[in-house]
Amino acid sequence: MKNKIITLTLSIMILALSFPANAQQTGKIPWIGYLAGAGSGPSQAFIQGLRDLGYIEGKNIAIVFRTTEGISGRDAEIAAELVYLKVDIIVADATGAIVAAKKATSTIPIIMTDSTDPIGTGFVASLARPGGKITGLTSVSGELGGKLLELLKEVVPGLSRVVVPGPQVGSPATDLFMKETKIPARALKVQLIRVPVRGPEDFESVFSAAIKERANGLLVRLAQRTSAAHRKQFVELVAKSRLPAIYGASNYVDAGGLMSYGADRNAQLQRAAVYVDKILKGTKPADLPVEQPMKFEFIVNLTAAKQIGLTIPPNVLVRANRVIR
């Protein structure tokens, strides 16, 4: 009995001594709030970027992941939750997430992993000197419409009428994209037909419009918050329509789409980890210039091409960074 009492007493003493130490250690670990438009966890490229800088989740850094699950309007709710949890930095991976985080806090630094037009949307004063609590990376995807059209025209020489599904009129990023794409479209003698898409419920309208307008191509610019299941759903509808399509994001090609061209998303996310590191070491977001993409990738899916009876010209194929067979 006496031995049991001694053992119990020692256990309580050890627990009492270790608890404050653990609490103190936890208090020293920075918390990163990761606000996503879709997905089930932080990007592996972002996690790897942190590891490359010596951060190990659960040891010297913690990540609180929250996602809207592709549901419009949830950004504000989960951004407010991250602020309530008093995270040290918020990493936002979509325009809606950045807007919500900006409204939710005036003190917590916010890192953009992908913003089409950070100046036009009012996130930063300039790329060189952001001037506020927001910094990070821009994808410049709003300026890539001409390149996407050129690639699609090379694959479909008779391209003349192209449906552009994307966020509804009033979206600064999409308005910029359409503005920047109109001039190269005229040069290529291609008419652009904009079809607003708020969510999966509008997918069918894209193909109804394509039939009505006698379109022979798609230039896809759907919201960043689109979930993996909805990307797959859209790509399947594209295959069913037998329309050649090009996307601004590689995850659509991974889901079975034909072609994509844009900033290397993994490279962007790894760079976002560098911003986390610099801010944790004391640099103010206002003093960290917004970076433009340093690496772009062109991806072609030959399986998707075969599905719709399309042959990718060799001069196009040879320029691809990745070919899915």
Pair 221, 80 in one domain: no
Q: Please tell me whether residues 97 and 236 are part of one structural domain.
A: no
Residue 13 in this model has a pLDDT that exceeds 80: no
Question: In the chain, what percentage of residues exceed pLDDT 70?
Answer: 89
- The sign of the torsion formed by the CA atoms of 65, 70, 71, 72 equals positive
Number of DSSP helices (H) and strands (E) in the chain, helices first: 12, 12
Q: Give the structural domain span for 95.
A: 2-139+265-287
* Shared domain check, 127 and 164: no
User: What pLDDT does residue 39 have?
Assistant: 80
- The model's confidence at residue 46, banded by pLDDT at 50, 70 and 90, is very high
Q: What is the CATH number of the domain that holds 134?
A: 3.40.50.2300
By CB atoms closer than 10 A (0-12, 13-18, 19+), residue 296 is middle
Rounded average pLDDT over 189-210: 94
31 shares a domain with 131:
yes
**Is the model more confident about 38 or about 92?**
92
Determine what percent of the chain is predicted with pLDDT higher than 90: 73
Mean pLDDT of 134-148: 91
Both 273 and 318 in one domain: the answer is no
> Nearest CA to 239 among 293, 149, 305?
305
H or E stretch including 227? none
Query: From CA 305, how far away is CA 110, in angstroms rounded?
Result: 40
Contact 110, 133 (CB under 8 A): yes
The total domain count for the chain is 2
Average of pLDDT values for 174-181?
A: 86
pLDDT of the residue at 225: 66
Task: Please check whether residues 135 and 161 belong to one and the same domain.
Answer: no
- Is there a single domain that holds both residue 229 and residue 128? no
Tokens matching residue 84: 């309530």
Tell whether 39 and 108 lie within a shared domain. yes
- Residues 312, 210, single domain; the answer is yes
Report pLDDT for 259: 98
The alpha helices in 111-246, defined as continuous H runs, are 145-155, 172-187, 203-212, 228-241
- Asked whether residue 191 falls in the same domain as residue 154, the answer is yes
| Pair (254, 311) in one structural domain | yes
Q: Is 34 left (phi over 0), alpha (psi -120 to 50) or beta?
A: beta
Whether 272 has a pLDDT exceeding 80, the answer reads yes
How far is residue 128's CA from residue 148's CA, in Å, rounded to a whole number? 27
Do 147 and 183 sit in the same domain of this protein?
yes
Average pLDDT over residues 115-121: 88
